[in-house]
Structure 1
Amino acid sequence: MSKVYPLKGNQARAVAPHRTVWLSASAGTGKTQVLSARVLRLLLQDGVEPENILCLTFTKAGAAEMATRVNDVLARWVRLDDLALFQELEAIGADARPETLARARSRFAAVLDCPGGGLRIETIHAFSQWLLSAFPVESGLLPGTRAMEDRDRELLVREVLAQMLVEAEEAGDEGLLDALAHLALRMDQGSVIGFLLRCAKAIDLWQEPGAWRPPLRPRINQMLGLAADEDGSGVAALCADDAFDVASVRRCMAANAAWGTKTGIDAANMMGDWLAADPQARLAGIDDFAKLFLTAKGEAKSTRNLDKHEPAYADYQARVIAGITALRDRLALVNLAALLDPALTVGRRFALAWEAAKAREGFIDFDDQIRTAAALLTERTTADWIRYKLDRRFDHVLVDEAQDTNEAQWRIVLDGLVQDFFSGQGQSQRDPRTLFVVGDYKQAIFRFQGTSPENFAKARERVRRELAGLAEAMDEPERALLSLGLGQSYRTAMPILAFVDRAIAAIGPDRFGLPEAPEPHVGDVRPGLVRLWRPVGEGDGDEEELPEAGEEGGENWLSRPDRDLADRLARQVRQWLDTGFPLHKGTPRNARAGDVMILVRKRKDLAGLIVARLHARGVPVAGVDRLRLGAPLAVKDLMAALRFCAQPLDDLNLANLLVSPLIAWSQEDLLERGYRKDGVRLWTHLAHSRDPATVQTVEQLLDLLRRADFEPPAQLLHWLLVGPWRARFKLVARLGREANDPIDELLNAAMAYATGQVPSLVGFVQWFDSGDGELKREAGQAADLVRVMTVHGSKGLQAPIVILADAADDPDAAMARGSELVEHGPGQRPRGVPLPTLRKEEKAPPVRAAEEQAAREERAEHWRLLYVALTRAEEALFIAGAWPPSRKELPADSWYARLAPLFGEDEAWEPDAIWDGARSIGIPGPPVVEAPRTVENLGLPLLPPWLTTPIGPEPRPPRPLAPSALGEDEAPDPPTRPGPGALLAARRGTLIHKLIERLPAVAAPDRAEAALAWLARQGAEFDADAHADMLRAALAVLDHPDWQAVFGPGSLAEVPLAAVVEGRVVSGTIDRLLIAPDRVLIVDFKTARRPPASLADVPAAYLRQMAAYAAALTTIHPDRAVEAALLYTHAPQLIAIPAEVLARHHPMAAT
């Protein structure tokens, strides 16, 4: 249960409920505690109800943690005595008057009773969903709209792109097809789709006021600084004598001629030829002309030999180079505009089709939620009314992790939720309404999601400015913004924090994007250790050695140093668990698996390899924090079983299934039992094998195939996991506990598939293969498992021991996320314009400037990411890395290269058996001696055997016996000889059949008239005599003295029937049924074209069917005799079946 800690210094000032506060909180300074205390202080205020408070967080985990803390405290307050409650209220700075104590005890019930069942503590996306659902008409959403998942996006992208291609081809739109073909040649498939999705994300560019509409070239030109009608025809004019500095060219030409060497004379001649040409020819030869003044690297050539002939040669050359550069830049702009025109035309078409497809399918993605919510609060005609409704609800807004809030999200908060907080009229009508914002510029690491620390700074300045004006207008200084900082860390030991300060100073605060050096960190005075392990693979040379055949974990797609690094990390953690690593925060103890967090910069193969190596050494590990659903081996094995059901003749898939843990053949077993002649399928070969082990496996697979015929994918997976196959037990035993999460997610995917369409096995396999959803783990601290995750995923988490696993990686090797230019229109917000992949020579000055700015921002985030990684550690921080292959030195801006000098470059490496050397700052605490963790000293009873024994499958009821299916293949109905006569005879039989079905519902005196009228309409191909003959035949059946009652009043037609006969369910439908006081009559219609002449000729299958009906009715009505008959409607002919015949064909004898 959450504990209330006394607030100190700025923590206590920040929770003052009447002040608007902007809190800059460094890592580990207790910001969640402050947020929770702020909510508690607000709830204690008179007039503040739980529904008046809105808390916005960045992650679901953060929202859950904060809600848990607040609810735990409120629940505890209900039952605390006065003294204990007084102490807790005093700890958070609240007064402890009797009325406050009484209100504190009532707050938990108030929270439970508030709309929604609790405090509104949620992510900005969850709040946006609530807002859109609360105002669906105003937001323009259709009923049934749902959030788009990753797999939905991948499937819809392909559908929209395919439909766009089909429409373009049908319309003969050669321009669009050519543009798509050009994109496909320029980029790979993933890059093309990425560009199109970025165009779709920039929907404001195509739909908002001032949207880009065809033709796009004028808008592109304006964005690039060109005239709207610029088409490149005027570029040559820049080479004319009146535009180009030809005087400087002539000076350079004269100097080269005066030099007199072959090089100088050739250069002078080329300059002369260029000057003699017309502007168009000069433009065509500009590249050769530029080589006279520039090196291959684009630098100015040396003028040493020419200065003696023309002392000002360097100046003249610089002027010519400036002219060449301006000409080339102008030409690059024109060419870029020509390239962007078709690319953005395709992007616009896709974006509009994408929006239409999402609306059609009822999807809304996360970006849509934020954008639509922001527009709903700020731009729509109903925005004032919606803000008014919210204004009457939310009086206090709290924003957590504000540094990771993007511009659109700030619009929701500042323009939508709290805009009226800053108006004097709104404030004067009630107690001060407050905004509480907490964040840390140094921890802004989500730029790839559109966030920027600059937004954080701009938002703070805006709030400060507006509140300053409000405070002045109302003459109330306390209305002004209270800016505070938290620097005292309660998480990390002081030696680690001192190392963090030294790292910031050595790298430079400006490299972090900080306007000035931050305040020094202050931490707990307790043992702390920072250790640098020698980089793995140092001095190995360029030779890449692949693993030996059969070597455990021979993952040859990773470099040898990476593989070695993963193995050493696993050995190190295993050693800590075996020999003990002392931890002294709180109660001294030795480290356990859950105390270790291994961080990687990027989500890549190394993380998975580390997990595998840890598992191989018996270290409890939780697996990577995020992965593609189709990637885990457990999922691949289960999907192999499903693919086998869909296509047993897929040899490769069947082989994968056989050697998986589900069946557990070895490779040798597969070679021995699966060896066969060419052209023979593996499944066919196994099915005909007489080898006992193979026969057993084939029977196991046949059982799976039988179930696959009638069970949907989700139920089939569940049976595989907990049924006789025991797939979950086998997979977890082989792959470790981390296999449970992907197994569960696969089950969720199968159930999600069933909710969207009719489930089928083949359909599910195709659906699964067409997209690949992402599995996300919430990496909390409940399980005692080593956590392996990215630094981004570790945000908000901590661990006593943190390892930076890939600190030596090159930050420049990161994949580019795509460039964009920004359009600054008059009266409009800046809008990003996506760019396709460009070659170096195609990057005009605006593109180069944009990429350079993006690179600077990326590098600043690279260093902020380091800050987050360093501050996850509580007591020990370890820095490791693998030497990049084919490099003689570490990348200059790698974390390892920048942190290593802080340990003293001249210091000798300390001996280390695992890492071949280490350097340390600080020391670990003294060894801790713990009693062995056994069941006895924990005081826990042994688990009973039944608790660890898997539960077998629930007994299934017997499959229903359908009488109509009893031997249908034994009752042949050969076709009649074709011809007009046969067709008329068949038609006659059909009409008589219809009459027998319909006439029982008509009163006996009216049957003839009704039948003849019906036959006149339906049997017009027959004459009146034929109609009369058919009527006589039908009435002969209906008026049969023994069976007249079954067609009369009180009888039933098409009667469903079910009963248990001797433990077997019999289920079917009877054509005619009469239940009399002493007997039950049943008649079943048969449409055979050649009816039997007598009972002796009736097929046994029909007799078994009627006997099954009779047996079921005997069970239902044991006090009545059952009489049965068959009616062949083609003749028609009624054949009664005696009781002794029914007894001989009893259904249990038939099965």
Structure 2
Amino acid sequence: MSGLVYELKGDQRAAAVPIDNVWLSASAGTGKTQVLSARVLRLLLQPEVEPGQILCLTFTKAGAAEMANRINAVLARWVRLPATDLAKELGHLGADMGPDTQARARSLFASVLDCPGGGLRIDTIHAFSQWLLANFPEEAGLIPGARAMEDRERVLLAREVLAEVLERGDARLTEAVQRFTRRKEPGALLGWLMTCADAEELWEGPAGWQSPVDNRVRRLIGIPADADGAWANEGLAPGVFPDDAVRAMIAPLVEWGTKTADKCLDFMGVWLAMGLEQRIEAAGGFRGTLLRSDGMPMLNLKKPRETYPHFAEGQERIAEALAEVEARRALLALADYLSDAFTIGRAFALAWGEAKAREGVLDFSDLIRKAARLLSGQAASDWIRYKLDRHFDHILIDEAQDTNASQWDIIFALIGDFFSGAGARGDRIRTLFTVGDYKQAIFGFQGTSPENFARAKGIVEAQITAAASGIAEACINTRAPTWRALELDQSFRTAQPVLDFVNEAIAGLGHEAFGLDTPPRPHIGYSGPGLVTLWHPVAPHDSPEDDAEFAGEEEEEAGPDFLPHEDTVLASKIAEQIERWVKGAEPFVLAKGGSPRHAGPGDIMVLVRRRKELASQIVAKLQARRVPVAGVDRLRLGAPLAVKDVLAALRFAAQPLDDLSLANLLASPLIGWSQEDLLAHVPRGREVRLWEHLRRADAAVPVIATAEKLRDLLRRADYETPQALIAWLLTGPWQGRARLVERLGTEVNDPLDELLNAAFSYEAGAVPSLAGFLQWFDAGEGELKRDSDGGAGQVRVLTVHGSKGLQAPIVILADATGEPGEARGLSLVDAPLGEAAAGEAPRRVPLPPLSKAERCGPVAEAADAAKIAQDQEHWRLMYVAMTRAEEALFIGGSLGKSRRDKGPHDDSWYAKLAPLFAGEALADPLWGARQEWGTRAPPLVQVDTGIAGGEDEPLPAWATRPIGPEPRPPRPLAPSAAGEDASADPPLAPDVARQAARRGSLIHKLLERLPELTESERAAAAQGWLARQAGDLAEDTRGEMLESALAVLAHPEFAAIFGGEALAEVPLAATVGGIVVAGTADRLLVRTDEVLVVDFKTTRRPPASAAAIPLATQRQMAAYVAALEAIYPGRAVRAGVLYTHAPRLFVLAPDTIAAHKQGLDNPQQSYLPPELE
């Protein structure tokens, strides 16, 4: 964050006034975050406001972080800003610019850092709720250590709870589950149960739903409690059914006298003679005679309908009677289904609550629900609000349109005493600032509703107005709270031509389509070029070129990841278009800010309506063209091919006879078989498993090599943890990461890293096992979430929801031809009845998944209302998508086979926006045709430098000369590794070698530490040190080490080496003959005319003479001498080797040193350790 403060203008400045209560409606790009930050800064500048009294609530963590960073950056700048510049910035905010205010401004950064928690409280509503519960755990009914659940943990616990519920042996419950799963897909059950768990208030309290739920269900859908088949069919009974209409139709049919008339007469005669039981079975006979198959009157009975008016009326009466019967039958069937669903849901919800309490965990719904209850509706609520009154005097709410009803309950509780003069500090000015935009309410799938935004505005306005009136009437000498409803429509993001298009789109659809009561104010943008382009939609086999390009692609089986042919073509064309823009074939000029330039990858954002395969396909196509791309914003961790390949290896390791996993592994980059290889080597008989086939003795050579790799995997799987096994697959001999990157691109790195993190998380909470990890992973794959605003220099591919708060010079709406989604989350209102429910508010009852036929009665009405709300959100989503663009908006999409000739769906963005483009379409080499609105920025003109042109001069010789090699060495040479030792001791057994190395290390440490002590202190100190460091060794072994070290120190020949002038463990580094020599000398004695370096050797078989010293040791000492000669030029350097076991010191002869210094001459640079300077 730069920390710059921009001048506020108009309603921006008015909204920042710190003593006013403000309800701000801010259209897209109007500087909402800037105003919100400015409001906080203005509050902080007030002498009576402390940083801890401010609470900011945002919708996302990213929004909270952005606001905090922006405010902290400004406060940090103010500390050191010159007085004139500080006064200017304060003026930009509309604040006082005097010396007292400037002094306070400079102190705010420290004040904010001193706040509890290290800064301003800028939180999401969930984070604030968690803080609230942590401060009042006993009042909230939480056990110590309660924590929020992770998504995967929630799924695992839900499965465990479902198993517990079914194990109870309740026959009614078991039968209900069986009936439910027969009607719906398997995955629907758990989703419905979690919906019931979230509706906790439905099962609680005196008015809560109790078992059995049948009567409650029937009342919910409006049918009698005793409704049964007789109730449903009573409309068919003689005397109830309109038999008079049937009789009245006989004469006209007899007169008509056709075969159709005879058919009708035969049925009608039988019908009139039937009793109720027979009519129940025969009612369908009306269809195909008097009525159509859909139950409406048969219109081909033309003559009797025209001749006898009562004939048509009779048809309609019969149709209505039969429709009523069918509606009752449908309601009765719905009641049975809902009874099953709520029986299961209630049992699960209650068990779910018990399980969470037992485990000490909370989910996101609990955070909001318990925080709301804590603040209202229980005995301690008044006291808690009183305590909070001492905390917060100023509350700011961001993205208020995405705040749901439960979250508003928390906010209302927090501000309950703001305007009444009551509370802990009734004499202080207390304010509420709310900013949002009804047009950007797009998170209905998370339970939010823009109606809550409008309702909350009315409630707050009424409270403030009432408080002001009360103060005026009472003539109290205090400032009345003020209320200001403001609106921002000046966009600083988007060019005016693009906003003109947005204004026309809103006007064309009508403000009602967005759910608005009144038309919004027109958007105003900045002056400059702006372009909106409509690309011709891609349809199956649009052109011969498409056919040729994709003829070789194999058809994929339909499934959840299936991508239609036309979407593959669309993704390819979008990638090619972007490549043309950024690589010069068709450069796109951007002009915002007055400095025209060519667009780069980081200037482009591709938006999709839903997170489906199209987004991933666009990313893949861009990567294939080597266009930098950040990848999709969110990805299921189990979805990327690289993760699937690694999981296939793990599944094979856990179960070698899993033929499918093994086949997937073989065909993956980890093994690298082609499909032809796989077909050539698979077993021909079903009774032979693939792994058994691969490891047979007579297999081909490639198969034998592959089988050995797989055996290595199986061996490691027996003792490695899942994380270690994944790491070995990726970085070990298989080089899995490199192979996957080579085949699939660098896009695989993030998912692979997250897979490793997932394995780490699993191992942190369970005893690790491969089978356990796979079960844990499959329970909930989790999501890979990327920072959507962090892809600098890369194309961003996002959902519209994920793009909220972001912007880009060029925005592409990739799937604008899609129709609105189906309404989700149907619910009905259940009004509590009886004395027990006195004072209880109506409860909203969620409904399970319902087919179209099951949506009858009040459910059909609820579905219609939900559809209207869904359509309104569909258009608001379009508004959000269009307003991400700064300079250019491109609209495209694809058509399936069913819509190739019809065109885009009537309610698609494409269909509604296309009529706004006037004029004929322009030919386009890639899209076939396009239409444009607005103006393009002019192409960049090559600047004339004034230098006359002429023939190119030849380049100088140095320009074409190859670059010389990098200076040696790529890594320093350690003297201890200066060469192979041809006279090395015979190799030791591994355990013996480890013991010898440890013995040598301990003796080295003793010789390093003991010289600093007096001779009388050495033995006791050494015994104690060895006991602590090597207590596991036998006492005689430690004694032998001690004797060896003390003998060396007591030897008169070595007195100088271990004297006060000598240095221990001295790091040395020097460049010798172009080679960096670096190492650590055991002892170093530096005198005015000479230097002695000594290295310790602890071998039990010391050489008999200096000539018998191993060659590797001689080379090591020669390297030390060469380095020291560079460090101490002009001094004689001698090298000695002290064998501690003898003990005996050998000083190497100068000829020996010289013989091994070849290639280490010509010292160039030295690095003297600080202690030797």
TM, length-normalised to structure 2: 0.76
Instruction: Note the alpha carbon deviations across 1:667-686, whole angstroms, 9 max, x for none.
Output: 66777899999958658957
Q: Measured at CA, do residues 823 and 569 of structure 1 come closer, stay the same or move farther in structure 2, by a change above 3 Å?
A: same
1:216 to 213, 217, 226: 213
**Amino acid across the alignment from 2:874:** H
Separation in structure 1 between the aligned mates of residue 259 and residue 717 of structure 2, nearest angstrom: 85
**Amino acid across the alignment from 2:166:** L
**Amino acid across the alignment from 2:635:** L
- 1:910 aligns with 922
Q: Give yes or no for contact 2:27–2:488 (8 Å, CA) kept in 1.
A: yes
Q: How does 1:468-483 map to 2 (within 5 A)?
A: 468-475=465-472, 479-483=481-485
Residue 450 of structure 1 pairs with residue 452 of structure 2? no
- 1:581 aligns with 588
> Which secondary structure state, in structure 1, belongs to the residue aligned with residue 645 of structure 2?
helix
Q: Give yes or no for contact 2:264–2:290 (8 Å, CA) kept in 1.
A: no
Instruction: Note the alpha carbon deviations across 1:1079-1100, whole angstroms, 9 max, x for none.
Output: x9xxxxxxxxxxxxxxxxxxxx
Separation in structure 2 between the aligned mates of residue 820 and residue 688 of structure 1, nearest angstrom: 64
Q: How does 1:3-152 map to 2 (within 5 A)?
A: 3-152=4-153
Corresponding residue pairs, total: 969
1:623 Cα deviation after fit: 1.0
Q: Give yes or no for contact 2:608–2:815 (8 Å, CA) kept in 1.
A: yes
> Which secondary structure state, in structure 1, belongs to the residue aligned with residue 29 of structure 2?
coil
Structural RMSD (CA): 4.0
Separation in structure 2 between the aligned mates of residue 101 and residue 480 of structure 1, nearest angstrom: 27
1:767 to 769, 776, 787: 776
**Amino acid across the alignment from 1:522:** I
Separation in structure 2 between the aligned mates of residue 144 and residue 447 of structure 1, nearest angstrom: 33
Separation in structure 2 between the aligned mates of residue 356 and residue 737 of structure 1, nearest angstrom: 45
Q: How does 1:391-790 map to 2 (within 5 A)?
A: 391-414=389-412, 416-426=413-423, 429-475=426-472, 479-537=481-539, 540=542, 551=553, 557-579=562-584, 580-586=587-593, 587-643=595-651, 645-647=653-655, 653-654=661-662, 656-657=664-665, 660-662=668-670, 679=688, 682=691, 685=694, 710-718=719-727, 721=730, 727-790=736-799
1:831 Cα deviation after fit: 2.6
1:924 Cα deviation after fit: 1.8
- 1:1136 aligns with none
> Which secondary structure state, in structure 2, belongs to the residue aligned with residue 874 of structure 1?
strand
Separation in structure 1 between the aligned mates of residue 357 and residue 144 of structure 2, nearest angstrom: 10
Q: Give yes or no for contact 1:332–1:842 (8 Å, CA) kept in 2.
A: yes
1:261 Cα deviation after fit: 4.0
**Amino acid across the alignment from 2:867:** A
Instruction: Note the alpha carbon deviations across 1:648-677, whole angstroms, 9 max, x for none.
Output: 665654554455445556666777899999
Separation in structure 1 between the aligned mates of residue 447 and residue 874 of structure 2, nearest angstrom: 15
> Which secondary structure state, in structure 1, belongs to the residue aligned with residue 56 of structure 2?
strand
Q: Give yes or no for contact 1:674–1:682 (8 Å, CA) kept in 2.
A: no
Q: Measured at CA, do residues 672 and 462 of structure 1 come closer, stay the same or move farther in structure 2, by a change above 3 Å?
A: same
> Which secondary structure state, in structure 1, belongs to the residue aligned with residue 20 of structure 2?
coil
Instruction: Note the alpha carbon deviations across 1:253-282, whole angstroms, 9 max, x for none.
Output: 454445444434543554454444444544
1:821 to 816, 820, 828: 828
Q: Measured at CA, do residues 17 and 1108 of structure 1 come closer, stay the same or move farther in structure 2, by a change above 3 Å?
A: closer
Q: Measured at CA, do residues 344 and 663 of structure 1 come closer, stay the same or move farther in structure 2, by a change above 3 Å?
A: same
Q: How does 1:1133-1148 map to 2 (within 5 A)?
A: none
Q: Give yes or no for contact 1:254–1:268 (8 Å, CA) kept in 2.
A: no
Unaligned runs of 5+ in 1: 932-940, 950-954, 956-960, 967-1056, 1066-1075, 1081-1106, 1122-1141, 1144-1151
**Amino acid across the alignment from 1:884:** G
Residue 810 of structure 1 pairs with residue 812 of structure 2? no
Instruction: Note the alpha carbon deviations across 1:951-971, whole angstroms, 9 max, x for none.
Output: xxxx9xxxxx999999xxxxx
**Amino acid across the alignment from 1:151:** R
Q: Measured at CA, do residues 759 and 550 of structure 1 come closer, stay the same or move farther in structure 2, by a change above 3 Å?
A: farther
Q: How does 1:649-1048 map to 2 (within 5 A)?
A: 653-654=661-662, 656-657=664-665, 660-662=668-670, 679=688, 682=691, 685=694, 710-718=719-727, 721=730, 727-811=736-820, 814=821, 817-825=824-832, 827-887=839-899, 888-889=901-902, 890-904=904-918, 907-928=919-940
1:234 Cα deviation after fit: 3.7
Separation in structure 1 between the aligned mates of residue 419 and residue 335 of structure 2, nearest angstrom: 45
Separation in structure 2 between the aligned mates of residue 234 and residue 555 of structure 1, nearest angstrom: 48
Q: Give yes or no for contact 1:232–1:331 (8 Å, CA) kept in 2.
A: yes
Q: Give yes or no for contact 2:15–2:39 (8 Å, CA) kept in 1.
A: yes
> Which secondary structure state, in structure 1, belongs to the residue aligned with residue 459 of structure 2?
helix
Separation in structure 2 between the aligned mates of residue 346 and residue 668 of structure 1, nearest angstrom: 50
Q: Give yes or no for contact 2:722–2:770 (8 Å, CA) kept in 1.
A: yes
Q: Measured at CA, do residues 688 and 128 of structure 1 come closer, stay the same or move farther in structure 2, by a change above 3 Å?
A: farther
> Which secondary structure state, in structure 2, belongs to the residue aligned with residue 855 of structure 1?
helix
- 2:1157 aligns with none
> Which secondary structure state, in structure 1, belongs to the residue aligned with residue 57 of structure 2?
strand
Bigger mean CA offset, 423-432 vs 821-830: 423-432
1:516 Cα deviation after fit: 2.0
**Amino acid across the alignment from 1:634:** A
Q: Give yes or no for contact 1:528–1:875 (8 Å, CA) kept in 2.
A: yes
Q: Measured at CA, do residues 304 and 53 of structure 1 come closer, stay the same or move farther in structure 2, by a change above 3 Å?
A: same
Q: Measured at CA, do residues 685 and 11 of structure 1 come closer, stay the same or move farther in structure 2, by a change above 3 Å?
A: same
1:429 Cα deviation after fit: 2.5
Instruction: Note the alpha carbon deviations across 1:214-261, whole angstroms, 9 max, x for none.
Output: 121111122122333334444444445665555444434454445444
Q: Measured at CA, do residues 759 and 676 of structure 1 come closer, stay the same or move farther in structure 2, by a change above 3 Å?
A: same
Separation in structure 2 between the aligned mates of residue 143 and residue 250 of structure 1, nearest angstrom: 78
> Which secondary structure state, in structure 2, belongs to the residue aligned with residue 422 of structure 1?
coil
Separation in structure 1 between the aligned mates of residue 64 and residue 1033 of structure 2, nearest angstrom: 63
TM, length-normalised to structure 1: 0.77
Separation in structure 2 between the aligned mates of residue 828 and residue 123 of structure 1, nearest angstrom: 29
Separation in structure 2 between the aligned mates of residue 742 and residue 707 of structure 1, nearest angstrom: 23
- 1:975 aligns with none
**Amino acid across the alignment from 1:341:** S
> Which secondary structure state, in structure 1, belongs to the residue aligned with residue 365 of structure 2?
helix
1:616 Cα deviation after fit: 0.5
Residue 174 of structure 1 pairs with residue 186 of structure 2? no
Separation in structure 2 between the aligned mates of residue 929 and residue 711 of structure 1, nearest angstrom: 63
> Which secondary structure state, in structure 2, belongs to the residue aligned with residue 630 of structure 1?
coil
Identity, % of aligned positions: 52
Residue 186 of structure 1 pairs with residue 183 of structure 2? yes
Separation in structure 2 between the aligned mates of residue 782 and residue 835 of structure 1, nearest angstrom: 41
> Which secondary structure state, in structure 2, belongs to the residue aligned with residue 167 of structure 1?
coil
Q: Give yes or no for contact 1:809–1:884 (8 Å, CA) kept in 2.
A: no
> Which secondary structure state, in structure 1, belongs to the residue aligned with residue 860 of structure 2?
helix
Q: Give yes or no for contact 1:148–1:363 (8 Å, CA) kept in 2.
A: yes
Separation in structure 1 between the aligned mates of residue 638 and residue 964 of structure 2, nearest angstrom: 38
Q: Measured at CA, do residues 327 and 697 of structure 1 come closer, stay the same or move farther in structure 2, by a change above 3 Å?
A: closer
**Amino acid across the alignment from 1:383:** S
- 1:1070 aligns with none
2:260 to 243, 263, 279: 263
Q: Measured at CA, do residues 1059 and 225 of structure 1 come closer, stay the same or move farther in structure 2, by a change above 3 Å?
A: same
1:474 Cα deviation after fit: 1.1
Instruction: Note the alpha carbon deviations across 1:330-351, whole angstroms, 9 max, x for none.
Output: 3333332233222211121122
> Which secondary structure state, in structure 2, belongs to the residue aligned with residue 421 of structure 1?
coil
Separation in structure 2 between the aligned mates of residue 451 and residue 243 of structure 1, nearest angstrom: 47
Q: Give yes or no for contact 1:545–1:560 (8 Å, CA) kept in 2.
A: no
**Amino acid across the alignment from 2:353:** E
> Which secondary structure state, in structure 1, belongs to the residue aligned with residue 517 of structure 2?
coil
> Which secondary structure state, in structure 2, belongs to the residue aligned with residue 479 of structure 1?
coil
Q: Measured at CA, do residues 73 and 281 of structure 1 come closer, stay the same or move farther in structure 2, by a change above 3 Å?
A: same
1:892 Cα deviation after fit: 1.0
